[in-house]
Amino acid sequence: MTRIVTFLLVLAFIGTSCAQKNDYVITFKTPYGDMVAILYDETPKHKENFIKLAKEHYYDSTLFHRVIQGFMIQGGDPDSKKALPGQRIGAGGPKDEIPAEFNPKYFHEKGALSAARKGDQQNPEKKSNGSQFYIVQGTVLKPEEAENLRYDQMKLMTGLRQMFEKPEYKGLLDSLNQLYYSGDIAAYQKKLFELAPRVEKATGTKVTRDIPAERIQAYTTIGGAPHLDGEYTVFGKVIKGLEVIDKIAAVEKDAADRPLQDVRMMVTVEEMSKKKITKEYGYIYPATKR
């Protein structure tokens, strides 16, 4: 009996190992070229949902209905399939939302595939729309701009306000106000960040955060939209066709950021070995811990 159980466990392990050797590639076919993406295992609900919809041809003939150059291109609204010219789009999608699956490993670098959602007031849990997504274009940050990401500006400003309620900090407040009204905003912001250690000591609140070096490198080379990190679920990444994002983001659009000429997509799913994905697209899978 023990031998049988052991044999079954070995078979289960082999089956799991084989399954893990394959993955899926998603291809977005557009009039401006194709984009190929992979989806992350660490966001299983989003991955499973997107693959299911794509296999059902849910996305075929939908539009990239909202594009903002230097930011992102958004699509996946089923109502866009038959939308009339100038019609507002963006409220469609399945009834059920997807729970947020934030993972600190994944961020809004250029090419990030992320889930759209309703705003915080309607959606404090930051649940994702059941079908709509966006692909990040973003901008390239200067090194000093990227370094500023290490500060939680909201917490920093809250801590400063707490400090300035005390009379002993009046001189500091006056000097900051003087710097602000001088019009030198860069110097003002630099001074605020220099005060971070003092704020942490005075309030007991941590206002700095650890940003991995690879994230800083990405934002200062290929670019992205770091202000979205931790706010929207990143569940995949474009691994081929980044230039297509630039082409779509640059099209003429109306006041609602909808392209004047429809940009339709066809979305396909192909199962492929991870080894082949790496060979064909150059995507290196992160090493898994055993």
Q: What is the pLDDT of residues 216-255, one digit of tens each?
A: 999 999 999 999 999 999 999 999 999 999 999 999 999 9
Could you tell me if residue 147 is inside a domain?
Answer: no
- pLDDT for 288 equals 64
- pLDDT for 136 equals 98
Q: Are residues 173 and 100 in the same domain?
A: no
- pLDDT for 3 equals 54
Q: How confident is the model over 244-290, as pLDDT tens digits?
A: 999 999 999 999 999 999 999 999 999 999 999 999 999 999 876 55
Using 50 as the pLDDT threshold, list the residues of the chain that sit under it.
Answer: 4-19
Tell me the residue range of the domain where 57 lies.
24-141+221-281
Separation CA 111–CA 104 (nearest Å): 17
Q: Are residues 186 and 127 in the same domain?
A: no
Could you tell me if residue 165 is inside a domain?
Answer: yes
Domain count, the chain: 2
- pLDDT for 186 equals 85
Q: Are residues 34 and 97 in the same domain?
A: yes
The model's pTM is 0.85
Q: Are residues 35 and 122 in the same domain?
A: yes
DSSP letter string, 185-254: HHHHHHHHHHTHHHHHHHH----B----HHHHHHHHHT-B-GGGTTTS-EEEEEEE-HHHHHHHHTS-B-
- pLDDT for 147 equals 87
Structure tokens at 258: 């909808």
152 contacts: CB under 8 Å, gap ≥ 6: 206, 207, 208, 209
- pLDDT for 17 equals 43
Comparing C-alpha atoms, which of 263, 272, 271 is closest to residue 59?
263
Q: Are residues 157 and 251 in the same domain?
A: no
